[in-house]
Amino acid sequence: MNNDKDLHSEPTLSTPVPVSIGSLSKEQLDLELQKGFDSLNNGKVFTADEVDEMLKKEFGI
């Protein structure tokens, strides 16, 4: 796994509004899961501390 990070790369939500897993069809769920796997395979990985900082900046939590 490649741990080099693009300094300008931040994770993004694939949809503007979070959706419930229960509302997705099998095909939609498979697509969303594949996006996550593809992101990992392309080296887009973040530590828990990095995610916490991004959430703090975006949502004030």
pTM: 0.50
How confident is the model at residue 1, as a pLDDT? 47
Secondary-structure percent of the chain, ordered helix, strand, coil, rounded to 5: 50, 0, 50
How confident is the model at residue 58, as a pLDDT? 87
* Ranges of each domain in the chain: 21-59
Query: Consecutive 10-residue runs of the chain (61 residues): their mean pLDDT?
Result: 54 65 92 92 92 90 80
How many whole angstroms separate alpha carbon 58 and alpha carbon 52? 10
